[in-house]
Structure 1
Amino acid sequence: MSHSPSFIIIGAMKCATSTLHEQLAVQPGIFMSELKEPNFFSDDDQYAKGMDWYLAHFQPANANDICGESSTHYTKFPTYPKTIERLYNHLPDVKLIYVMRHPIDRLVSQYIHEWSQRVITVEINQAIAQHPELIYYSQYTRQLQPYFDTFGQQRILPVFLERLFKYPQQELERVCGFIGYPGQPIWDNELSTRNVSTERMRTSKIRDFFVEAPLLKQMRRWLIPKSFRNWVRSLWTMKQKPELESEQVEHLQAIFDQDLAVLGSWLGIELSCHNFKAVVQAEPRNWVNLSPKNQPISSGDYD
């Protein structure tokens, strides 16, 4: 029997998608792909492996399991421009879950991640000018509008990280109701949340070889004082949380407030960087019916 996902967590990057993926995976009757981010419909090299390769990730599921996966690359427009077309061609009836958080917090978290992966090597204020994707991926209506146009808003569930962590059981129940889960989900407090902090270490193949090699690891514990090992570790670690200059914060707030005004109109609320956390935590939010006056955003809105 061939299994395919009936729902996908499509992002956003650094918005607790791993946490939600793991919480869904431990619910009886829900099967989440072991490969958390297949990125099949977004990445050309993954898509070239073919649909059989993709569906193989769901073969271990039981006959009646609800299947899902999570790939944040699916909401990284314009980096991956073919995602939605491919997704619709293969899974036109799929349900989509989009997790958001305060856009500046998300941007900073992405910067830390990209710094650790050596994708970004400059400090954060300089990086914002050099890497526009830091802003793009926090413009949630920019990412959602093409999905609305293709799938319709009723097939996309909005979730907010801030509310997910404040009311985890309620939000898990809301997600499970959306995907058609017939059981009673239980939030597992034992699962560790994925929280990237300034202690994140930078990628280093040489360091990882010496750290992970079993024999070398044991010798290091015998011969090298822990204080020295901690000092070496600190050489690859971000010393403090990146700090945005006040002018940069004002610049970002102006950009994101424009995007959040549209998002708020879709949700039936007034939304801005200033009130974001309080408003999204206050009560669960679903899309309201878009009236004719709430026209879709245009590409000119981001020029």
Structure 2
Amino acid sequence: MINKNQPSSLQKKQQKILPDFIIIGAMKSGTTSLYYYLNSHPEISMSRDKELNFFIAERNWQKGLNWYQSQFRGNAKIYGEASPNYTKYPGWVGVPKRMYQVLPHAKLIYILRDPIERIISQYVHQYASGTENRSITEALADFENNPHNYYISRSRYYFQLKQYLEYYSLSQILVLTSEELANYPHKVLSTICRFLEVSDDISSIDYRGKFHRSFHKRRKNALGNAIAELPLMSQLNDLPAPIRFHLDKLIYFPFSTAIKKPKLDQDLRDKLISYLEDDINQLRECTGKEFSDWCI
């Protein structure tokens, strides 16, 4: 039986692999779970590290194409990666253009989530990491005067998708939602497989696992942050992600506090919904999808 993750001797000598598809976002919308689900498909091999961020000039673009190709190994039918930062415009600009220059025939998957819930989840993620110290109300205070607010811009899904439609046809992009994936995993994964032109027999995929669930996150205290800086801890990054997640919980649990899901006051929630409504309606018109599970 062929091991898709084990390159043959001929591949090692000759083959330089580029991905056939990319999960481009959205952040906190199930990209990690989808990465692992697809990696367990016998005909699909995902990049060893989930987020390569290659097409971002300020991140890994300067490492060159050979570096990017080296991230894909094995003997699979198709290859993929998942970098939700690819839909962080205008934080990162020029991503679709660079991607198209290298991968004009690639298929793109854009998994979305209720825009308000995604904002809250991203806030929890940033707060847990220590990169956000404000309340959620303070973090969103300027959104009406700042359309590029870090939290809001990633929930402007049509605004993000539009950047890709300058280069890719809509037929190359599959738009789906984390709500669909959670409620109808078999149906959604079969749809993805047909889009990627691989077998839609998903019996090998264990889709019970959930990864990076924001509302289970904890924030490290000073001692926890000190432990995280120890050289030994960086070696955890070389472990498979499911093992790394569990070790993280075991190591840092005594040195962290649970984060409660923040509540938006009704006035702020109403303003966010009103602000995002036009974008989501344009998304509906573009994709033909209803997004009936969302609050907008």
User: Is structure 2 residue 135 aligned with structure 1 residue 123?
Assistant: yes
Relative to structure 1, the CA distance from residue 270 to residue 3 in structure 2 (aligned partners, 3 Å threshold; closer, same or farther) is closer
Number of aligned pairs?
255
The 2-side partners of 1:155 and 1:7 are apart by: 9
Report what 1:17 is aligned to: 31
How far apart are residue 268 of structure 1 and its match?
A: 3.0
Tell me the secondary structure at the aligned position of residue 219 of structure 2. Answer: coil
Report what 1:184 is aligned to: 201
In the TM superposition, 1:287-302 aligns within 5 A as none
Relative to structure 1, the CA distance from residue 199 to residue 191 in structure 2 (aligned partners, 3 Å threshold; closer, same or farther) is closer
Report what 2:93 is aligned to: 81
User: Is structure 2 residue 102 aligned with structure 1 residue 90?
Assistant: yes
Contact persistence 1:3–1:61 (CA under 8 A): no
Contact persistence 2:179–2:293 (CA under 8 A): no
Report what 1:233 is aligned to: 256
- Determine which structure has more spread, i.e. the larger CA radius of gyration: 1
Q: After superposition, what is the alpha-carbon deviation per residue over 1:158-212, rounded to whole angstroms, capped at 9, x for unaligned? A: 11000100010110010111111135223314534431215423485314368x8
Report what 1:197 is aligned to: 215
How far apart are residue 2 of structure 1 and its match?
A: 1.4
User: Is structure 2 residue 147 aligned with structure 1 residue 134?
Assistant: no
The 1-side partners of 2:130 and 2:101 are apart by: 34
Report what 2:5 is aligned to: none
- Equivalent of 1:257 in 268, 277, 284: 277
- Equivalent of 1:47 in 61, 73, 76: 61
How far apart are residue 267 of structure 1 and its match?
A: 3.0
User: Is structure 2 residue 166 aligned with structure 1 residue 149?
Assistant: yes
Contact persistence 2:114–2:295 (CA under 8 A): no
Tell which deviates more after alignment, 39-48 or 107-116: 39-48
Tell which deviates more after alignment, 41-50 or 104-113: 41-50
The 1-side partners of 2:41 and 2:49 are apart by: 17
- Any runs of at least 4 consecutive aligned residues in structure 1 with deviations exceeding 4 A, and if so which? 229-232
- Unaligned residue ranges in structure 2 (runs of 5+): 1-14, 144-148, 234-251
Relative to structure 1, the CA distance from residue 118 to residue 3 in structure 2 (aligned partners, 3 Å threshold; closer, same or farther) is same
Tell me the secondary structure at the aligned position of residue 166 of structure 2. Answer: helix
Relative to structure 1, the CA distance from residue 21 to residue 198 in structure 2 (aligned partners, 3 Å threshold; closer, same or farther) is closer
The 2-side partners of 1:206 and 1:20 are apart by: 32
* Amino acid of the structure 2 residue aligned with 1:251: K
- Unaligned residue ranges in structure 1 (runs of 5+): 214-228, 280-303
Relative to structure 1, the CA distance from residue 40 to residue 252 in structure 2 (aligned partners, 3 Å threshold; closer, same or farther) is same
How far apart are residue 130 of structure 1 and its match?
A: 5.3
The 2-side partners of 1:44 and 1:263 are apart by: 28
Report what 2:249 is aligned to: none
Q: After superposition, what is the alpha-carbon deviation per residue over 1:88-112, rounded to whole angstroms, capped at 9, x for unaligned? A: 1111111000000100000000011
How far apart are residue 250 of structure 1 and its match?
A: 0.9
How far apart are residue 139 of structure 1 and its match?
A: 0.5
Relative to structure 1, the CA distance from residue 84 to residue 267 in structure 2 (aligned partners, 3 Å threshold; closer, same or farther) is closer
How far apart are residue 269 of structure 1 and its match?
A: 5.2
Report what 1:160 is aligned to: 177
How far apart are residue 121 of structure 1 and its match?
A: 1.1
Contact persistence 2:220–2:255 (CA under 8 A): no
Relative to structure 1, the CA distance from residue 173 to residue 128 in structure 2 (aligned partners, 3 Å threshold; closer, same or farther) is same
Report what 1:27 is aligned to: 41
How far apart are residue 232 of structure 1 and its match?
A: 4.8
Report what 2:126 is aligned to: 114
Report what 1:66 is aligned to: 78
The 2-side partners of 1:49 and 1:230 are apart by: 36
* Amino acid of the structure 2 residue aligned with 1:3: I
Report what 1:245 is aligned to: 265
Contact persistence 2:22–2:83 (CA under 8 A): yes
* Amino acid of the structure 2 residue aligned with 1:48: Q
* TM-score (norm: length of structure 1): 0.78
Please tell me the root mean square deviation across aligned C-alpha atoms, in Å. Answer: 2.3
Q: After superposition, what is the alpha-carbon deviation per residue over 1:209-247, rounded to whole angstroms, capped at 9, x for unaligned? A: 68x88xxxxxxxxxxxxxxx977532xx42x21121211
